[in-house]
Amino acid sequence: MIGMVREVTPEVDASAVLAGAQFIDAFRVEVGATAVNAREACTRMVLDGPRWVDALLRLRNILVKPFGLKTSGEGAPAPGGMIGLFPVLSETPERLVAGFDDSHLDFRIVVDVEGNAASRRVTSTTLVRTHNLLGRTYLTLIMPFHKLVVRSMMGRIVEPAR
């Protein structure tokens, strides 16, 4: 059904994207004939998202700064530039990989676009590799919000902000 976001079995080769990832999940949305490539899908997810997601990210940045964790826009320049706070690490029209490595965990988001002009689908896969107790604690704390945030962000691919 077009516009319905559902959790799916991850189809990404985790060892190629983020070897040693301890967490991986994936969500898919059918976008019908919406003309979209991986960058456009990721941009709609990240930049055209709901205000409450932006508020959560601002709160996250405030809370993690005292721990020395990266906040929006920090880190080395990315080969593919930035989409919101995510450095683009690699990109084709069908797949975009974004994410960063930090002292507590490494994070990747993979956005895949599949199908033909009449029936496209977008899958967003999240991978996380923790390094220490802080990383494991952080992952545990954000998990209640993760699925809700990803579902909401993916819904923006079909109906971007006006």
pLDDT, residue 162, reads 39
Domain count, the chain: 1
Torsions phi, psi for 103 (to 5 deg): -65, -30
Say if residues 129 and 122 touch (Cβ distance below 8 Å): no
Strands 105-116 and 95-101: antiparallel
Cα–Cα–Cα angle for 126, 82, 42, nearest 5°? 45
pLDDT in tens, 21-33: 999 999 999 999 8
The domain of 121 spans 5-158
Domain containing residue 120: CATH number: 3.30.530
Q: Please report which confidence band the pLDDT of residue 57 belongs to, taking 50, 70 and 90 as the band edges.
A: low
> For the whole model, what pTM was predicted?
0.83
How far is 83 from 87, CA to CA, in rounded Å?
6
Averaged pLDDT, 55-63: 62
Which residue, chain included where needed, has tokens 């559902």? Answer: 6
How far is 44 from 156, CA to CA, in rounded Å?
6
More confident residue, 91 or 50: 91
pLDDT in tens, 99-133: 988 888 999 999 999 999 889 999 999 999 999 99
